[in-house]
Every structure is written in C-alpha cells, then in structure tokens.
C-alpha cells in the first residue's frame, strides 16, 4: 500500500526583501497543515504546533484543564515513555522548549541545533568527528531536528498521561498560579473575565490550580486522569493543528519527515471552536464603572468597548486607523492635552481579540494623582476626541502613511530567533489569511472608509465600561473569586453619563481647541538604500576611528545584514552619577524629565521606526538612537540639545518624582525571583545600593537640586561612542562632532574614571543573607544560591563554568522542579558580575529558603556521582552543546550592536570572546571538570566560597515534605552558615577583585584611515 502524499498548497509566500529562506505550505492527508521553512544558514532548527483549543473549552467544573493538559503532554509518550526524554534530548543538542495555553489555542514549540556537529563560526566549518573533541552523535546522518520532531510528534499521537506525573504537574500548575497571585496584570485581567457573561467562556479561570484540578474533582469522585484523556480525545485533532518546521534541510526533505512523523496524528474533522451568539457582556454590564484596588501603587483608567471581530478584515484592519489616532502622542492628541493638564503619564489604545467573533477595543490611561481625582474629565476628553474623528470622513493620507510605514517595516524585517518565529507563525496559521500572506499579515492593503466608520460605531456611550484602578479606593465591597482583588461595580453616574453624551455631541466650535488631528509625519524614512558589497567574511570587531583624551569613537559599517538601519550609542562618562544614591536619583529624575519633555517631538520618529533612549548608569549617562538611519542625525541632535537646554517645569517635576517614588516602592512588591538578584548584586559589588536607599534619598530631592546637578555631568565628561549599521565613517564622525559641540564639555581625565570591582567570597566560606519580603500577601519564598568561582578574565575558568552550567541545566530543572516540585521558578546557570563569575541556582517556592538550600546542596552532592559515571559520549555531547551556543550566528543587526556595546561596556574589548570560549571548552577533559567540581562546587569541599540570599515570605506556610526537615537543612557536610547582618561590615572585611582588564591594546583597534 502506498502512503498518500501531502498536498502542496503554495510556495509563493510574500516575504521581506532580505529573506533568503524558502517556504512551502502543505496539508497532510489527515488535514494537518504545515509550513516548511528551509534556511540554509540557520544554526538553530525549530518547530511549533498550534492546536486550536485552549482554556475557553475547559469544562465548567474543571477550569484549567487545557493548561494542565499542556503540562502533561511533555511527560512521556508510548514511543518515548521516559518522562524527561524530550527535554533531555533537546538539552543535549543545544535546544530548549516551552508552551503556552491561551483562550482558543495551545502552542507548543522547541528549538535545537540545526546540525549534529559543533564548531561552525561565521560560516567557516571546522572538521567534524572526534579529532576536535566533539564526537558526532549517532543520528543516521540526519540532523538533531529529526529526533526532536519524532519525540515532539508523539505528543499529538500517543501521550501516556502517566498517573505518577499527574499529581506533580498539577502542583506545577498550582505553583504557576501562585506565582501570579500578586501580579496586577493577572489580577485585573481575571477581574475583567470574572465580570463577564457567565455563559461565555471568557468568564473562565484559565490557569487552574489544585482546587479546580484536584481537590474539588476528587470530592466529586471524578477520575482526573480520565478527564485529561477525554479532553484530549474530544479536542485534539489533526485538522485543528498548524505546524511550522524550520531547518537547514531542503523543503522536500522536511516534507518527507513531516509526512512520515505526523501521519499518525488522528483527524476527527472537528469544526473551529466558536461561541457565536453568546455576548461577552450582557446589556446590564454596559455603562458601568468598576473601582479596583491593585497590589502595586498604580493608577489607571481603562475604557473597554465591545468591538467587531477583524479576523476576516485582514486587508483593511480598521482598528489600526482608530488606535493610530486615539493612541497618538504628538501635538493635538488626547495625551498631549491630558499631560499638559497634569492628569496623565501615558496612554495606549488598540484592539484586543478575544475569540473568533468577539473583541474589545481598549483605551488605557496611566493617571497622575490629580488625574485620578479628574478621571471623569479624562474620559470626557477621550470621547470629545472620538467625536472629532467621527465627524470627519476617514482620511486616506493617514491610512497611506500607516500603510507606507508598515511596508517599510516588513520589507526590512530581519530574522527573529527560530523558536519565536515558528511559535508565532503557527498561531498566525489559525487565522483565515491567504497562505501567501502568512508572513505579511501586518501589511495594510485596502483603504476602507466604510469599514472604518463601522468600526467607529462601536465607540458609543451605551457600549462601554470603565475600570478605574488605584490604591486610594478603600471602600470596596467585593473580592474577585480567584485572585482576591477588591472591587466594586456601580452604574456610571447620571451627570457623568450626560457629560460623555455632551462630549460626543461636540462640534468644532464647542470642542476643546487643543484637540486636533495629527500632522504629516516628517520622520517617515525616504532614503532606504543600502550599498551592499561582497565581503569574504564579515569583520568581527568595530574599529576606533577617533581616539583622544575626550572621545573614543568605535565604528563598524554593517557588512552582514544590509538593512537601512543603524544605532549610535553614547556614554557620557562622569563618576558623579554613581558616587552616591542621591546622585543616581538626581540623574534618573533628570533623564525622566528630558524624556518627558521630548514625548510630543519623538513620537513621530518612534512611529517611523526611529527611537532613542536616555538613562543613568554606573558610568554616567547613556544615550542611544537607533532605527532607520535616514533621519537619525536629526533626532540625535534634538535629544542632546534638549539635554543641554532642559528647563524644569515644577509641575512635571512633582509628577515625575511621585512616579519614581512609586517605582521604588513597587519594586519591593515584585515577584521574589525578580528581586533576589538586586540583593546578590548589593552584596557582591564593591559599590552599590538598594531601592530602599534610593527611595530614602529621593524624598529630599527637589527640582532645584536637579537643576544644579545635571550641568555638572554635561560640563565635564569622557565621551564614548559606538556607531554601527548602515552609516559611513563621515556620518559617525559628524554625529560625534555634533554631540561634542552641543555639550562643549571639558575632558574628564582617566584618573577620575570609576573603576568597577567585585567582592571576593573567600574559599571555605558559607554566608547567608536573609531579608523579609515586603508584600504581606505573597506566599513565595526565594533563594539565590551563589558559588563564587573567580575572575571573569580567566578564560579556562570561564569555560569550565559554561560547561558545568550546561551539564546541570536539565538535571537541576528535572530534579528540583519536575520531581521534587519545589516551585514553578527553578533556574540554574552562570552569573557574570562586572569582574567576577560564579554559578547560581534560583528557586521561588512556598517552601522556606532554608529548606530550598538543603535541596540544592543535595542536588549538587548527587551530581558529583552523575559526573563521575558520565560516559565520554555524553560528556562530548555537552561540550558540543556549549560550543554550538557560543558560536551561534548573530540573527540581526541589533544582536551584533549589543555584542559590541557589551564588550565596550565591560571594558574587556573582547569582541571575539564567544570564539575564545568555544575553543577553551573544546579542549576541556572530564577529569578537569571533576577537579573543578570537587574544588568549587561540591558542598563538602573545604575550598568553595558560597553566598546564599534568602528572601522570606511573611505569609508563607511551611510545607516541608516528610524526607528531611528544617532542622537538618543546612548540615549535610557543609560548613555552618555565617549570617550577614551588616552588609557594610561584611563588604569591608572582604578583599575585592582587580578592575576590568582589556584583552587587547586599544591602539591595535585604531583605524583612523578607514575609507568607509
């Protein structure tokens, strides 16, 4: 019997002008549709499967089932029954995987090395085989993609739903939910869902927890494993699946693999999931205002309009015209007006698709303190602006400008990481787009004035509700079921509703004169040419084309990506910025004031793909301008002129100071695993501070202080510049001259430059630093377990760390998260400081930090045995993985700019560090890694230096498993802990490292005569 072949749907995909990939869309006989992508140059292969079913299909009495199923599919299949076989395979081939569950889709994706060999750099292959210490794995000559696809396909053919993994994965779901309980993003999203029509699945609690997936079903006598299998059988069908596969193989080869490996996916010919005829909100839900109290100190008003579904309006996308106008930030915009009034800090607007047939259009405003009092005025201004747009015919020039910008953006779109690309595309394939437009769905193709008018008709006074969010609201009478958010719902008051109706009836005579349509965007790029030259191999380092006491200018004309884009990064080096917490706070305020003053001007540039940034750093002030190079010099000059000429508006100062104060306060209410790194940095950097120390200083800073302070930074500095991209040497020199002439600063001698150093954690030490977490409702503790290794410029030590981190990556996750279920957040790997390196493990958990430390000790002790018994083949596989990661090709211009700037900022100027690391790893032997482990890592080692940060939840309930307890937590052969109680004392008693060291004499990188 011959196997039926796949039907080829198209190969003619519209693609960016620089896209050298080839594409083919096929449909298998089982109606599974796949997009095949051949990329001869990629070093990462990837695949993604999007299944058209998500949390909206959860049974009412088993909420979170779709999300739980997503977790379960990773846990073993008939063909590959070992529960972590898939992740182990990926880890051994420089790969990784993930998945997400949304309302109407579940998306699974992975990436893996595109070839089975290591040692490719910039397209120059080194010999394969064992000569270079990286043995080729046995794959019948096929790349690792085939083995990964084979394991991946089985998720959709024969998952096992193993009983013993079920309970653990439900705990992982529960832990994931607990991680989000104090997140305002999740809390407010669920509040909106919980207040919707109970008959629409938007109302569901999508994540699930132990209560919905275990405890309550068990009470009802439900066999939960059967429910997973029933859900899978009922909803997972080949005709609902969209697959994307990207690899180096030819399209014919990829088609053969996909046809073979996915033929076994069962097709049940299921219809698309739809909920037509069930409104998300009932008539009684309209014209309501909801007041909600957030965890963080934030203030906002959001307007939600039920909106039309644009799924089939992909040519005109009317909501983009509307959001372009309402969300505009230039002169005449809503934001310009409410900001000038002192009511708002920001505004965004756009469509929010919910499911086929349903969407919201939302307008969200970040309010000031006064804006909160005046939220009704803010809403009325929005409705006045809506009235102004509605009374005019849709304007074709506005659409054409948007269309032009979308075309430019698409034409010069660069590659994104492989798994992100496949994941996104598999989701796009669920849309009813012509298959030729899968890549180009962002393009606007048709001006449809009637469609725009119809879309505007949804923005009415009887078709919205408001959510006002602030901590000021204390008289709230209801708690949301799943997250406990306090809120109350009431009708929009009569006088407020009359004000909205009046706003919608305004005409040019009665409307606020400050509101008007945007003007033509002067930043739209017109010069988009790139002079492409054939080069045997791209240059790997930028050159110094100016190098004197005052300025260092690094330059590289792009010879790799050929896009009409560039970035200019400038550091104004001045030690005052990092001298004290008060100075850093003044610098931050200054940067915010400049950015605030530039919003109306820079918004057009941002729309046209040209952006800037200004921030305070350890060196001084960092300024960057990046995007299309055509009008870049104009924006750069404006930014530096604004920096020099800033006049501080006392009202804006007050608003920005209050915003920064809230920022410092809110930082202490973030997820514990976000916070823990701040403390590790604080204890290990020679000079550094915490948010609470900044906040204490901020209280006393006034506008006059900033006014007196910022000229000191601009008056004397050293200017370091990197100019990289589609610009010539003369452009780079000219822009640098512009910066120099605007500032007219004195030279800062090198003797005054700040030298960064890190604390040395001495051998044999075992330090613990404990901190209580601020958020009283948070239930999660957190640990960062840090092992100090040595200096960052020790190449051999660095290579051992990279290899050891690779070896423990998957086993640590498997043991500490999957098997022991300590928490959803489990991470292990290298920690790079300014001048030192170390190995760290981070866990966020309901278990105490002391207990977590004992489990990390136990894992590391046991890993010694794993290391001793590791086969030579497996050891070489790990080396191959590290080498592949270090030699991974740069994906786009931005990634190369980042690499250059990182090594300029680190002051090592080691632009080919990735190649050095790969070569050092290639030479490592197993005995060297064993010695490294015994000296630096093994908990029983008398020579390892350790520092653990313990963040303790106020609301934590100790939940220790039976084996091992608190009392025995820190005594398995490790030295008794020394608790750090005074950080200043702790750091004063320890030695510090040497400062950063350049790996090359900078004169070797000078090239003052470069032609370009």
359: left (phi over 0), alpha (psi -120 to 50) or beta: beta
Q: Can you tell me whether residue 839 is helix, strand or coil?
A: strand
Residue 416 Cα distances to 46, 195, 413, 893, angstroms = 12, 38, 9, 11
CA 944 distance to own-chain centroid: 34
Task: List C-alpha distances in Å: 21 to 53, 61, 133, 434, 729.
Answer: 30, 46, 32, 19, 32
668 counts as catalytic = no
Residues written for the chain: 1012
Angle at 109 between CA 106 and CA 114, to 5 degrees: 165
Contact 16, 411 (CB under 8 A): yes
Q: Quick one: tokens of 827? A: 């991470």
In whole angstroms, what is the distance from residue 207 CA to residue 806 CA?
Answer: 31
Token output for 702: 């006034």
Say how far apart CA 315 and CA 753 lie, in whole Å.
56
CA distance 991 to 945: 13
> Cβ(152)–Cβ(47) under 8 Å?
yes
Whole-angstrom Cα distance, residue 198 to residue 848? 39
d(CA 949, CA 677): 9
- Tokens standing for residue 733: 């020199």
DSSP string, 343-369: -EEEEEEEEEEEETTEEEEEEEEEE-H
The answer to whether 636 touches 627, Cβ cutoff 8 Å, is no
CA dihedral for 546, 636, 755, 803, sign (positive or negative): negative
What is the full DSSP assignment across 197-226?
-TTSGGGS--S--HIIIIIHHHHTT--HHH
CA dihedral over 845, 846, 847, 850, signed as positive or negative: positive
End-to-end C-alpha distance for the chain, whole angstroms: 64
Residue 163 to residue 169: CA distance in whole angstroms? 10
What are the residues whose beta carbons fall under 8 Å from the beta carbon of 869, sequence distance 6 or more? none
Give the C-alpha separation, 341 to 736, whole Å. 37
Q: Is 28 helix (H, G, I), strand (E, B) or coil?
A: coil
Smallest Cα–Cα separation from 97: which of 75, 64, 119? 75
Q: What is the 3-state secondary structure (H, E, C) of 702-734?
A: CHHHHHHHHHHHHHEEEEEEEEEECCCHHHHHH
Burial bucket for residue 75 (CB in 10 Å: 0-12, 13-18, 19+):
buried
Which of these, 385, 391, 348, 381, lies nearest to 366 by C-alpha position? 348
Q: Quick one: how far is CA 984 from the chain centroid?
A: 34
Residue 813 CA to residue 825 CA, distance in Å, equals: 9
- What distance in Å separates the CA atoms of residue 746 and residue 650, rounded to the nearest whole number? 30
Q: Of 70, 83, 329, 401, which one is the catalytic site residue? A: 70
- For residue 762, what are its two tokens? 């001495």
Residues 208, 177: contact at Cβ < 8 Å?
A: yes
Catalytically annotated residues: 70
């Amino acid at each position: 019997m011959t196997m039926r072949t796949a039907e080829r749907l198209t190969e003619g995909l519209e693609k960016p002008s620089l896209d050298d990939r080839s594409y083919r869309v096929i449909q298998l006989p089982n109606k599974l549709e796949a997009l095949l992508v051949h990329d001869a140059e990629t070093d990462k292969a990837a695949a993604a499967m999007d299944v058209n079913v998500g949390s909206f299909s959860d049974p009412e009495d088993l909420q979170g089932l779709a999300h739980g199923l997503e977790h379960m599919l990773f846990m073993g299949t008939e063909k590959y029954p070992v529960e972590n076989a898939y992740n182990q395979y990926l880890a051994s081939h420089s790969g990784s995987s993930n998945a997400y569950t949304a309302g109407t889709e579940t998306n699974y994706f992975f990436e893996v090395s595109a070839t089975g060999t290591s040692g490719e750099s910039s397209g120059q292959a080194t010999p394969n085989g064992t000569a270079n210490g990286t043995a080729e794995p046995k794959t019948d000559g096929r790349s690792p993609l085939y083995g990964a696809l084979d394991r991946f396909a089985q998720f959709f053919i024969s998952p096992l739903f193993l009983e013993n993994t079920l309970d653990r994965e439900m705990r992982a779901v529960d832990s994931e939910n607990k991680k989000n309980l104090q997140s305002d993003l999740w809390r407010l999203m669920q509040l909106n869902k919980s207040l919707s029509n109970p008959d629409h699945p938007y109302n569901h609690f999508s994540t699930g927890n132990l209560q919905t997936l275990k405890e309550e079903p068990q009470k009802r006598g439900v066999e939960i494993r059967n429910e997973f299998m029933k859900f899978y059988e009922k909803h997972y069908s080949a005709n609902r699946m969209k697959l994307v596969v990207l690899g180096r193989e030819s399209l014919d080869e990829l088609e053969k693999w996909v046809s073979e490996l996915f033929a076994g996916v069962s097709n049940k010919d299921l219809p698309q999931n739809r909920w037509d005829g069930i409104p998300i909100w009932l008539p009684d839900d309209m014209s309501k205002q909801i007041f909600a109290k957030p965890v963080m100190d934030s203030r906002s008003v959001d307007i939600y309009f039920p909106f039309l579904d644009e799924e089939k309006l992909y040519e005109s996308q009317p909501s983009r015209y509307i959001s372009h106008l309402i969300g505009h930030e230039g002169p005449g915009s809503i934001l310009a007006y409410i900001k000038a009034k002192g009511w708002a800090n920001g505004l965004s607007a756009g469509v929010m698709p919910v499911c086929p047939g349903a969407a919201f259009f939302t307008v969200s405003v970040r309010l000031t303190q006064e804006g909160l009092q005046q939220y009704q005025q803010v809403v009325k201004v929005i409705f006045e602006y809506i009235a102004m747009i509605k009374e005019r015919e849709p304007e074709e020039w506005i659409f054409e400008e948007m269309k032009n910008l979308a075309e430019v953006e698409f034409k010069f779109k660069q590659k994104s990481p492989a798994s992100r690309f496949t994941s996104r595309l598999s989701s796009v394939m669920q849309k009813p787009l012509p298959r030729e437009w899968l890549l180009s769905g962002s393009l606007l193709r048709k001006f449809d004035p009637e469609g725009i008018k119809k879309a505007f008709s949804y923005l009415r006074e009887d078709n919205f509700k408001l959510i006002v969010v602030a901590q000021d609201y204390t008289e709230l009478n209801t708690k949301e079921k799943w997250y406990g958010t306090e809120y109350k719902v009431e009708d929009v008051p009569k006088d407020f509703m009359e004000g909205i109706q009046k706003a919608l009836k305004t005409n040019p005579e009665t409307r606020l004169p400050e509101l008007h349509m945007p003007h033509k965007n002067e930043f739209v790029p017109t010069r988009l040419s790139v002079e492409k030259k054939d080069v045997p191999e791209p240059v790997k380092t930028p050159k110094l084309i100016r190098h004197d006491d005052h300025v260092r200018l690094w330059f590289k004309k792009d010879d790799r990506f050929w896009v009409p884009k560039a970035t200019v990064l400038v550091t104004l080096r001045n030690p005052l910025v990092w001298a004290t917490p008060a100075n850093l706070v003044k610098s931050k305020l200054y940067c915010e004031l400049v950015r605030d003053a530039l919003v109306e001007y820079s918004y057009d540039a941002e729309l046209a793909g040209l952006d800037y940034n200004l921030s305070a750093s350890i060196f001084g002030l960092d300024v960057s301008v990046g995007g299309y190079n055509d009008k870049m010099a104009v924006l750069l000059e404006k930014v530096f002129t604004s920096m020099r000429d800033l006049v501080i508006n006392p009202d804006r100062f007050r608003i920005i100071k209050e915003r920064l104060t809230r920022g410092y306060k809110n930082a202490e209410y973030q997820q514990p695993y976000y916070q823990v790194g701040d403390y590790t940095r604080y204890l290990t950097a020679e000079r550094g501070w915490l948010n609470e120390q900044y906040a204490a200083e901020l209280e006393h800073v006034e506008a006059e202080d900033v006014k007196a302070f910022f000229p000191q930074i601009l008056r004397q500095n050293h200017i370091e510049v990197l100019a990289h991209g589609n610009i010539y040497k003369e452009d780079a020199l000219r822009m640098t001259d512009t910066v120099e002439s605007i500032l007219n600063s004195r030279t800062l001698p090198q003797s005054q430059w700040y030298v960064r150093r890190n604390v040395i954690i001495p051998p044999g030490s075992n330090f613990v630093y404990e901190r209580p977490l601020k958020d009283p409702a948070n239930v999660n503790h957190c640990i960062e377990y840090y092992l100090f290794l040595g200096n960052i410029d020790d190449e051999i030590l660095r290579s051992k760390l990279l290899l050891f981190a690779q070896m423990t990556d998957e086993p640590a996750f498997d043991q500490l998260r999957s098997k022991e279920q300590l928490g959803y957040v489990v991470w292990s790997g290298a920690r790079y400081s300014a001048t030192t390196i170390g190995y760290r493990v981070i866990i966020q958990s309901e278990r105490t930090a002391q207990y977590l430390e004992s489990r990390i000790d136990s894992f590391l002790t046991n890993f010694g045995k794993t290391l001793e018994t590791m086969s030579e083949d497996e050891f070489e596989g790990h080396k191959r993985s590290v080498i592949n990661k270090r030699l991974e090709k740069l994906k786009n211009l931005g990634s190369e700019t980042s690499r250059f700037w990182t090594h300029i900022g680190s002051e090592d100027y080691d632009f080919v560090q990735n190649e050095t690391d790969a070569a050092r790893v290639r030479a490592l032997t197993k005995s060297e890694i064993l010695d490294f482990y015994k000296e630096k890592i093994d908990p029983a080692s008398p020579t390892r230096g350790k520092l653990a940060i313990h963040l303790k939840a106020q609301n934590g309930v100790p939940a220790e498993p039976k084996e091992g307890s608190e009392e025995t937590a820190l005594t398995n052969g490790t030295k008794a802990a020394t608790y750090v109680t005074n950080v200043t004392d702790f750091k004063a008693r320890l030695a510090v490292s040497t400062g950063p060291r350049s790996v090359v004499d900078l004169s070797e990188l000078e090239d003052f005569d470069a032609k370009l």
